[in-house]
Amino acid sequence: MKDTMDTYSSYDVSDDERELAGLVRGFADDVIAPIAYEADRTHTLPLDVVAQMGELGLFGLPFPEEYGGQGGTYFALCLAIEAIGRVDQSLAITLEAGVSLGAMPVFRFGNESQKQELLPDLLAARALAGFGLTEPEAGSDAGATRTNAHLDGGEWVINGAKQFITNSGTAITRFVTVTAVTGEQDGRKQISTIVVPNGTPGFTVEPAYDKVGWRASDTHPLTFTDARVPEGNLLGERGRGFANFLHILDEGRIAIAALSTGAAEGCVQAATEYAHSRTVFGEQLATRQAIQFMIARMHARVHTARLAWHHAARLRDAGKPFKTEAAVAKLTASDAAMDNARDATQIFGGNGFMNEYPVARHYRDSKILEIGEGTTEVQLLVIARALGLA
């Protein structure tokens, strides 16, 4: 199959960005793809591979060098996420969440002391961090947060529960940033963000979920029972936690769109190779026009999804408004990933139902792309609001 990187000249990608994407694609093919099935089967996040990703500088791509980053752009990070998502979504989301939900809140809203203390290990993948937003009664309606925190003797005392928290229970997880109600402001809940180190008494990382997809990604529910952390663990301004998170979520949607695009492309690649190798009634499956048209539509979805996230990422890096474009990108790309996974599985026939084949894993993995970091319906709501319809 012709590598879609050959077409990147039409996407306004610089030579340095092309080189980065090629490097990560090679790493994904040589290091990640061979272990993806076993990691998925055993529900194991391969921390040795995460460490290698750290050595490549992937976790530090969009951060300044003064904190151990690469001094690159968010666009560069998304190129890397797309390249990995093509062969394994679990490691792609580990990178995406490690940056967007782990390190980025500290970089965006932390004070200088917090940045100096927390960022170097996160950007080198010596440590991971999670972001505790979602709760049993607060998903898309994050404003319904029930976890609460109050000050007592110079410490925050936190009580509540979080669910579906990525990178929260690995052997190298350093902390989780949690949203909590810290009072009332103008008659509404005052939501703040607080850094809670792993190992804090009263903070329990519950057993990992048995998930449909992303099975090698680390995901846990969390509980807080009078968990106490220093007052200085407040991240950003008190009462700005929810607003700050919405900004982080907009960025994360671009990254999820890039991951989705990679997954959609992985399905095109696998389906094309299989169509050439599979013989049906004495002819290659690739000679059948129905199959040709199906794969052509799959490729068109990848092309459109990539254009969408590229546009949103360029706007973000230029400091221009990108909220609506991020929603369009996530909507378009997650649809592409799910549609391509379904079509690729159909092309593989019975083999597509076997987890040893990448298309089966993409089929299971891709559904969450329409849910996580803002459901499809939330993206439609954001777009409708931008059009003055809501």
Domain boundary among 239, 265, 280: 239
Compute the distance between CA of residue 205 and CA of residue 226 in angstroms, rounded to an integer. Answer: 14
CA angle 58, 356, 166 (to 5 degrees): 40
Those residues with Cβ within 8 angstroms of residue 106's Cβ, 6 or more apart along the chain or in another chain = 114, 115, 118, 119, 122, 129, 177, 195, 235
Question: Tell me, what's the pLDDT at 51?
Answer: 98
CATH code of the domain containing 143? 2.40.110.10
Question: Tell me, what's the pLDDT at 11?
Answer: 60
| Helix or strand holding residue 150 (H, E) | strand 148-152
SS3 169: coil
Mean pLDDT score of the chain, rounded to an integer? 94
Residues 206 and 150 in one domain: yes
Q: What is the pLDDT of residues 96-119, one digit of tens each?
A: 999 999 999 999 999 999 999 999
Domain boundary among 87, 111, 127: 127
Question: In which domain, by residue range, is 256 found?
Answer: 243-386
Q: What is the pLDDT of residues 70-96, one digit of tens each?
A: 999 999 999 999 999 999 999 999 999
Q: What is the pLDDT of residues 233-259, one digit of tens each?
A: 999 999 988 888 888 889 999 999 999
Those residues with Cβ within 8 angstroms of residue 146's Cβ, 6 or more apart along the chain or in another chain = 135, 137, 138, 160, 161, 181
If one compares 50 and 280, the residue with the highest pLDDT of the two is 50
Residues 262 and 200 in one domain: no
| pLDDT confidence tier of residue 10, bands split at 50, 70 and 90 | low
Question: Tell me, what's the pLDDT at 8?
Answer: 58
Is a pLDDT exceeding 90 seen at residue 4?
A: no
This prediction's pTM: 0.94
If one compares 140 and 363, the residue with the highest pLDDT of the two is 363
- Out of 96, 135, 370, 373, the active site residue is 373
First-last CA distance in the chain = 44
Domain boundary among 69, 97, 127: 127
User: Of 55-64, 187-196, 319-328, which range is least confident?
Assistant: 187-196
Question: Tell me, what's the pLDDT at 137?
Answer: 85
CATH code of the domain containing 91? 1.10.540.10
User: Of 139-143, 179-183, 220-224, 261-265, which range is least confident?
Assistant: 139-143
Residues 315 and 258 in one domain: yes
Catalytic site residue 82?
no
Domain count of the fold of the chain? 3
Q: What is the pLDDT of residues 117-162, one digit of tens each?
A: 999 999 999 999 999 999 988 776 767 889 999 999 999 999 999 9
| pLDDT confidence tier of residue 317, bands split at 50, 70 and 90 | very high
Question: Tell me, what's the pLDDT at 144?
Answer: 86
